[in-house]
Amino acid sequence: MVQEGDLPPPKAAETLGIKVLNIDESEGSIERSFEATEAFTNPVGNVQGGFLAAMLDDTMGPALAATLKEGEFAPTLSLNVNFHAPAKVGVLIGRGCVVRRGGQVCFLSGELEQGGHVIATATATALVRKP
């Protein structure tokens, strides 16, 4: 598993500067940090929303992944992001959790924080697939 260091992180995770801060497999929750660089900025110098959406997706997905059985995977079916404040270059903290897990369909939620302020929130739906 990537979170445990058994597998190398995906290139997207490297790009986003992800570090795992905490994982609770029993709760289906995770806390991660991201390093937003100058390369992520829009014309006014804020972090472009697509990068924030990617950070949220890469927070909620691993929260669910921590609960999966060996061989299972869960692609995101839908992702809804709400932006609350501009994000600046620097560290952002992502928190994600499994809100409800049915047989195959799972509902997730997440938030990004910077400097003690919520920057963006998201919900997602994922589908658990078996090998």
Give 86-115 pLDDT, tens digit per residue. Answer: 999 999 999 999 999 988 999 999 999 999
What burial letters (b/e) apply to 11-50, b meaning 16+ CB within 10 Å?
Answer: eebebbbbebeebeeeebbbbbebebeeebbeeeebbeee
- Look at the domain 11-127 and name its fold: Thiol Ester Dehydrase; Chain A (3.10.129)
Say what the pTM is. 0.91
Question: Are the C-beta atoms of 58 and 12 separated by less than 8 Å?
Answer: yes
- Domain residue limits, the chain: 11-127
**The pair of three-digit structure tokens given for residue 70, joined into one six-digit string:** 């060996």
- Per DSSP, helices labelled H in 1-131 are 11-16, 49-65
Mean pLDDT of the chain: 92
pLDDT score recorded for residue 6: 59
